[in-house]
Amino acid sequence: MSQQKEDLKTTYQKFASKDEPKRPVVANCIKAFFIGGLICIAGQAIQNFFLYNFDFNEQTAGNPTIAVLILIAVLLTGFGIYDKFAQFAGAGSAVPVTGFANAMASAAIEYRTEGPVFGIGSNMFKLAGPVIVFGTTAAFVIALIKTLWIQIGG
């Protein structure tokens, strides 16, 4: 009986996968590459603006550049434009800092009705929280490896 059930399951899966639309992985990668690159060009333009017009050098100009990019992404999320753009762009719009801003802002908008503290406050990091957790953990582990490497190597 159980053997029969298993057979039925695999047959069904085979049958279903035949009609499933194939994910265009290569096309998605190319799209993400170009659109991610476009966002970075915009970032570079903003950085150059700060370099040419204000007293920032290459390193310190990074901070206001990121702030402006985040502001733009949050505004676009609020107006509902970023969603449509992200549907087309995929990972190209999720990987840069704009994707992180979008994750925070969209969660905040979604839980707005539940109140400022228990709604926005506690749910804002639902999507973006893992990024912070794993980002910090990964940074710690890599720093540890680097320190050990230098201690042994030098």
Partner 1 sequence: MQKSSGLKVILLTSIFLVYAAGCQQHESPEPTRIINKETHEAEELLEELEPITTAVAITSGKKLYAAAEVKQMDRFQLESVRKTGYDRLSKRWPDYNIHFSTDKKAMLELQNLNKDMSAIKMKKKEREQRLTKIEEFMKG
Task: State how far the Cα of 154 lies from the Cα of 150, in Å rounded to an integer.
Answer: 5
State how far Cα 40 lies from the chain centre.
14
> Judged by CB under 8 A, does residue 57 bind partner 1?
yes
Q: What are phi and psi of 57, to 5 degrees?
A: -100, 180
Closer to partner 1 at the Cβ: 134 or 149? 149
Among 7, 12, 27, 34, binds partner 1 (CB under 8 A): 34
Between residue 2 and residue 31, which ones bind partner 1 under the rule CB under 8 A? none
In the complex, minimum distance from the CB of residue 59 to partner 1, in angstroms, rounded to a whole number? 4
Closer to partner 1 at the Cβ: 84 or 146? 84
Contacts for 82 with CB less than 8 Å, ≥ 6 apart? 73, 76, 93, 98, 102
| CB neighbours of residue 47 within 10 Å | 19
In the complex, minimum distance from the CB of residue 40 to partner 1, in angstroms, rounded to a whole number? 11
> Judged by CB under 8 A, does residue 61 bind partner 1?
yes
In the complex, minimum distance from the CB of residue 132 to partner 1, in angstroms, rounded to a whole number? 27
Q: 88 in the Ramachandran plot: left (φ > 0), alpha (ψ -120 to 50) or beta?
A: alpha
Interface residue list for partner 1 (CB under 8 A):
34-35, 38, 41, 51-52, 55-61, 84-85, 88
